[in-house]
Chain A
Amino acid sequence: MKVSMNWLKEMVDIGDDYKLLETKFNLMSQEVESLYKLIDIDNLVIGHVKTCDKHPEADKLSVTTVDVGDEVLQIICGAPNIAEGQKVIVSKVGACLPGDFKIKKSKIRGIESNGMICSLEELGIKEFDSEETGIYVLGDDAETGQDPLKYLHLDDYVLDLDLTANRSDLLSMEGVAYDVACMLDKEYKPVQHQYETRREENTIKVFTDTKDCLAYYGQVIDNVKLGQSPYWLKSRLIAAGIRPISNVVDITNYVMLQYGQPLHAFDYDKIRTDRILVRHAKEDETLITLDGQTRKLLASDIVITDGKYPIALAGVMGGKETEVGEGTTKILLESAFFDPLCVRKTSKRLDLKSESSSRFEKGIDPGKIKKAMDFASELFIKLAGGEVVGEYSFFDTTQKEPSAVVLSLERLNQVTGREFTVGEVKSILKRLNFDNHVSGSDVFRIDVPTRRQNMFGYQDIIEEIVRISGYDKIPLTIPATPTFGYLTKTQQLRRTVRNYFVNNGFNETISYSLVNETQAIEFDQEKLSIVEIMNPLNKEKSILRHSLIPSLLDILQYNKSRKISDVFLFEIGRSYREEKEVEYLSGLITGVYQSNLWQGKKEIADFYLLKGIIEGMLLRLHIENYRIVKAEKPLSMMHPGMVADVFIGEEYLGYLGKLHPQKEMDMNLDKTFIFEFNFEILSSAYNDDLVMVEIPKFPSVSRDLAIIVDKDLTAEKIIDEVKLAGKKTLKNVEIFDIYSGQGIASDKKSIALSLTLQNVEKTLETKEVDTVVERIIKQLENTINAKLR
Chain B
Amino acid sequence: MEKKLNKLIEDMLSRLDGISNLNDLNLLKAEYLGKKSVFNDLMQELKEVPKEEKPRFGQMINEAKNRISDFLEEKKTALEKQLVANKLKDESIDVTLPGRKMNQGSKHLISQVIEEVEDIFLGLGYTVKEGPEVESDLYNFEMLNLPKDHPARDMQDSLYISEERLLRTHTSPVQVRSLLENTNQEPLKIICPGKVYRKDDDDQTHSHQFTQIEALVVDGKASLADLKGTLLFIAKKLFGDEREIRLRPSFFPFTEPSVEVDVSCYKCGGAGCSMCGNTGWIEILGAGMVNNNVLSAAGYDPEKFQGFALGMGVERIAILKYGIDDIRAFYTNDLRFNKQFRGK
Contact = CB atoms under 8 A, between A and B. Distances in A.
Interface of A: 26-31, 164-167, 341, 344-345, 361-362, 414-418, 457, 459-460, 462-463, 466-467, 471-472, 474-488, 491, 495, 498-499, 501-514, 531-537, 541, 544, 555, 558-559, 562, 564, 566-569, 574, 576, 580-581, 592-596, 598-599, 601
| Chain A facing B: main interface SS | mixed
B55 interface: no
A508 B111 CA distance: 9
Interface stretch (B9-17, B39-47, B56-64, B157-165): B157-165
Contacts of A457: 292
Given A480-B221, A487-B118, A581-B134, 5 more contacts: A344-B151, A362-B151, A462-B289, A558-B332, A562-B336
21 contacts: A26-B248, A30-B249, A344-B149, A415-B224, A460-B256, A462-B256, A463-B256, A481-B219, A487-B118, A487-B122, A505-B104, A506-B105, A508-B108, A510-B111, A512-B208, A537-B201, A544-B167, A567-B335, A568-B105, A594-B102, A595-B101
Contact of B151 (A361, A511, A531, A535): A361
Given A483-B125, A507-B335, A581-B133, A478 B230 contact: yes
Contacts of B161: 531-534
Interface in B294-325: 306
Nearest to B155: A165
Contacts of B248: 26-27, 31, 471
Contacts of A595: 100-101
| Chain B facing A: main interface SS | mixed
Contacts of A514: 159, 197, 208-209
Contacts of A479: 189, 217, 219, 221-222, 226, 230
Contacts of A564: 335-336
Contacts of B200: 537
Interface in B113-132: 115, 118, 121-128, 132
B335 to A, nearest CB: 5
Given A481-B219, A509-B333, A502 B224 contact: no
Contacts of A508: 106-108, 111, 338
A594 B103 contact: yes
A164 B251 contact: yes
A472 B228 CA distance: 10
A424 to B, nearest CB: 16
A476 B229 contact: yes
Task: Please list the 10 inter-chain residue pairs (A to B) with the smallest Cβ-Cβ separation, ordered nearest first.
Answer: A417-B225, A505-B103, A417-B223, A164-B251, A463-B257, A502-B105, A485-B122, A471-B247, A459-B256, A476-B229
Contacts of A574: 133
A459 B292 contact: yes
Contacts of A544: 134, 167
A632 to B, nearest CB: 32
Contacts of A541: 208
B271 to A, nearest CB: 16
B174 interface: no
Nearest to B342: A502
Contacts of A558: 332-334
Contacts of A485: 121-127, 189
A559 B233 CA distance: 39
B50 interface: no
A511 B210 CA distance: 10
Interface of B: 97-108, 110-111, 115, 118, 121-128, 132-134, 149, 151-152, 155, 159-162, 167, 187-189, 195, 197, 199-201, 208-209, 211, 217, 219-226, 228-230, 232-233, 246-251, 253, 256-260, 289, 291-292, 306, 330-336, 338-339, 343
B189 A483 contact: yes
A484 B125 contact: yes
A167 B251 contact: yes
Contacts of B330: 510
Contact of B134 (A471, A481, A488, A531): A531
B96 to A, nearest CB: 12
B100 A594 contact: yes
Contacts of B220: 481
Given A416-B223, A509-B333, A596-B101, A474 B128 contact: no
A463 B224 CA distance: 11
B165 to A, nearest CB: 9
Contacts of B256: 459-460, 462-463
Contact of A533 (B159, B188, B250): B159
A598 B98 contact: yes
A482 B124 CA distance: 9
A344 to B, nearest CB: 7
Nearest to A583: B130
B111 A505 contact: no
B332 to A, nearest CB: 7
Nearest to A593: B103
Contact of A476 (B99, B228, B249, B339): B228
Nearest to B152: A165
A477 B335 contact: no
A483 to B, nearest CB: 4
A481 B209 contact: no
A460 to B, nearest CB: 6
Contacts of B111: 498, 508, 510
B106 A475 contact: no
A740 B222 CA distance: 74
B243 to A, nearest CB: 13
Contacts of A462: 256-257, 289
Contact of B233 (A463, A478, A536): A478
Contacts of A488: 127-128
A29 B111 CA distance: 36
A461 to B, nearest CB: 10
B124 A417 contact: no
Nearest to A555: B333
Contacts of B259: 471
A474 B105 contact: no
Contact of A505 (B99, B102, B221, B247): B102
A536 B159 contact: yes
A593 B217 CA distance: 46
A311 to B, nearest CB: 27
Contacts of B124: 478, 485
B333 A596 contact: no
A463 B248 CA distance: 11
A542 to B, nearest CB: 9
A457 B296 CA distance: 13
Nearest to A589: B103
B217 to A, nearest CB: 5
Given A502-B343, A514-B208, A474 B225 contact: yes
A414 B99 contact: no
Given A485-B124, A495-B115, A510 B108 contact: yes
A512 B106 contact: no
Given A484-B125, A534-B162, A501 B189 contact: no
B229 A477 contact: yes
Nearest to B188: A483
A341 B127 contact: no
B248 to A, nearest CB: 6
B70 to A, nearest CB: 37
B225 A476 contact: yes
Given A467-B257, A534-B162, A574-B133, A417 B122 contact: no
Contacts of A487: 118, 122, 127-128
Contacts of B126: 483, 485
B297 to A, nearest CB: 14
B335 A414 contact: no
A534 B187 contact: no
A717 B336 CA distance: 44
A165 B334 contact: no
Nearest to B200: A537
A31 B291 CA distance: 21
A475 B225 contact: yes
Given A418-B225, A476-B232, A505-B105, A459 B189 contact: no
